[in-house]
């Protein structure tokens, strides 16, 4: 298997994949154990035998047609040219599919230049089909990393954590309560449905006229106040707070970090956790949890504030102020819905890039 090992090893040189690196190491190990002398014994030829061989070769050269070698070389060149063209077509087809999807995805607008340069291979002209595919895979890898990095950005962290937080909401005692559907939508993490329910409450408040409507306003006000109170309570995340307090984090520092988290706060937190003997993995996990909780908590507090404003204004008979509070709540839910859509788009793009790499074939498939 020497030929296959050395061939695979040459293709895998420079590839970061652990399996590819293992193939290179195996090829080097096997090659190092071989001795040329044990396979090819070199002996000086006898003069007579050498003369006869030289004469036979000279005679054979006159028997070979002049155009035969050139014809063979031409056929080989044509074959390589066809393979290169087929490879370019295959690569272009995969990259075009990625580009078309990205052009219809608003969340990928910042990657326009990267997408436009996918087919522009740097360096000298690539001749071998495997080199063409490998260069395309490297470019897709780079774009995939950029997409994943954006997906892990701070502004998206609040969305999944917010959905988890909202599961703790309790519905009103009455199934016919004005905010029942809103509560259900929020507890399911359905930001679009929740936004539509807030809009329905706004329209309901805007059309209230009769004396009988006062009772409905009073119920709505009470339930919005209760919803705001629940959101504020959920935003505190007592479980994480207790865990950090047990590790020596002061309560006042923790409250400040949950309200507004800075890079200096995170660095200080990591330092304190390291002094407590936590591993680097545990420290990073704890810091990530705090970032996510803080982002979701801040969003929940903003939503609670808008609900509370609407509840207070409704109680005082200030309909326009109550509608404005619901308007703010609707805008926040719309923002969460937009962020969730962008996350789904980025996820779909990362998946499409992964598929494109697989279709292009890796230099050393596992």
Torsion of Cα atoms, 155 then 228 then 259 then 252, to 10°: -150
Which helix (H) or strand (E) segment holds residue 33: the answer is none
Q: How many residues does the chain have?
A: 366
Q: What is the 3-state secondary structure (H, E, C) of 118-158?
A: CCCCCCCCCCCHHHHHHHHHHHHHHHHHHHHHHHCCHHHHH
What gap in Å lies between CA 144 and CA 349, rounded to an integer?
8
What gap in Å lies between CA 106 and CA 346, rounded to an integer?
10
Give me the DSSP letters along 291-339: HHHHHHHHHHHHHHHHHHHHHHHHHTT-HHHHHHHHHHHHHHHHHHHHH
Alpha helices of the chain — where are they, by DSSP H? 2-12, 18-32, 36-39, 47-63, 66-103, 112-116, 129-151, 154-166, 180-187, 191-206, 213-236, 238-246, 251-259, 263-275, 280-315, 319-360
Longest dimension (CA), the chain: 127
Global pTM exceeds 0.95: no
What gap in Å lies between CA 357 and CA 145, rounded to an integer?
13
What gap in Å lies between CA 193 and CA 235, rounded to an integer?
21
10-residue averages of pLDDT along the chain (366 residues): 75 78 80 67 60 66 55 64 75 76 72 65 60 79 84 80 87 72 90 91 78 74 87 79 79 76 81 85 84 83 88 79 88 91 86 82 48
Lookup: tokens for 78: 């044509």
Residues 43-57 as b/e (b if ≥16 CB within 10 A, e otherwise) read: eeeeeeeeeeeeeee
pLDDT for 195:
92
What gap in Å lies between CA 150 and CA 146, rounded to an integer?
6
What gap in Å lies between CA 276 and CA 247, rounded to an integer?
7
What are 119-126's contacts with CB under 8 Å, separation 24+? 119/91, 119/92, 119/95
pLDDT for 192:
92
Identify whether the C-beta of residue 169 lies closer than 8 Å to the C-beta of residue 304: no
What gap in Å lies between CA 339 and CA 158, rounded to an integer?
9
Residue 195 neighbours by CB distance under 10 Å: 21
Identify whether the C-beta of residue 11 lies closer than 8 Å to the C-beta of residue 364: yes
Identify whether the C-beta of residue 209 lies closer than 8 Å to the C-beta of residue 188: no
Lookup: tokens for 110: 């910042």
pLDDT for 196:
92
What gap in Å lies between CA 271 and CA 276, rounded to an integer?
9
- Residue 267, phi-psi category: left (phi > 0), alpha (psi -120 to 50), beta (remainder): alpha
């Amino acid at each position: 298997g020497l030929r296959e090992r050395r061939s695979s090893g040459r293709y895998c040189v420079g590839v970061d994949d652990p399996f590819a690196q293992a193939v290179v190491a195996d090829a080097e190990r096997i090659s190092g154990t071989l001795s040329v002398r044990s396979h090819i014994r070199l002996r000086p030829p006898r003069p007579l035998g050498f003369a006869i061989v030289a004469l036979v070769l000279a005679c054979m050269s006159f028997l070979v047609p002049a155009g035969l070698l050139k014809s063979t070389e031409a056929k080989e060149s044509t074959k390589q040219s066809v393979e290169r063209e087929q490879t370019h077509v295959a690569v272009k087809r995969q990259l075009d599919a990625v580009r078309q999807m990205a052009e219809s995805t608003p969340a990928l607008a910042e990657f326009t230049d990267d997408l436009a340069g996918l087919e522009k291979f740097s360096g000298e002209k690539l001749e071998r089909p495997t080199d063409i595919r490998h260069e395309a895979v490297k470019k897709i890898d780079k774009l995939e990393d950029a997409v994943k990095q954006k997906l892990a950005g701070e502004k998206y962290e609040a969305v999944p954590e917010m959905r988890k937080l909202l599961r703790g909401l309790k519905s009103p005692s009455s199934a016919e309560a004005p905010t029942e559907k809103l509560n259900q939508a929020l507890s399911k993490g359905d930001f679009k449905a929740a936004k539509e329910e807030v809009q329905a409450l706004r329209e309901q408040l805007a059309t209230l006229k009769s004396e009988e409507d006062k009772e409905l306003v009073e119920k709505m006000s009470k339930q919005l106040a209760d919803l705001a109170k629940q959101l504020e309570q959920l935003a505190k995340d007592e479980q994480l707070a207790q865990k950090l307090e047990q590790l020596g984090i002061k309560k006042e520092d923790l409250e400040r970090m949950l309200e507004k988290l800075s890079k200096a706060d995170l660095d200080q937190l990591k330092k304190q956790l390291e002094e407590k003997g936590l591993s680097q993995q545990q420290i990073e996990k704890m810091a990530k949890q705090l970032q996510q909780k803080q982002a979701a908590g801040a969003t929940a507090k903003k939503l609670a504030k808008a609900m509370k404003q609407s509840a207070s204004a409704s109680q005082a008979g200030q309909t326009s102020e109550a509608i404005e509070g619901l308007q703010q709540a609707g805008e926040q839910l719309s923002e969460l819905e937009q962020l969730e859509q962008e996350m789904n788009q980025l996820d779909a793009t990362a998946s499409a890039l992964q598929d494109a790499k697989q279709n292009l074939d890796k230099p050393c498939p596992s």
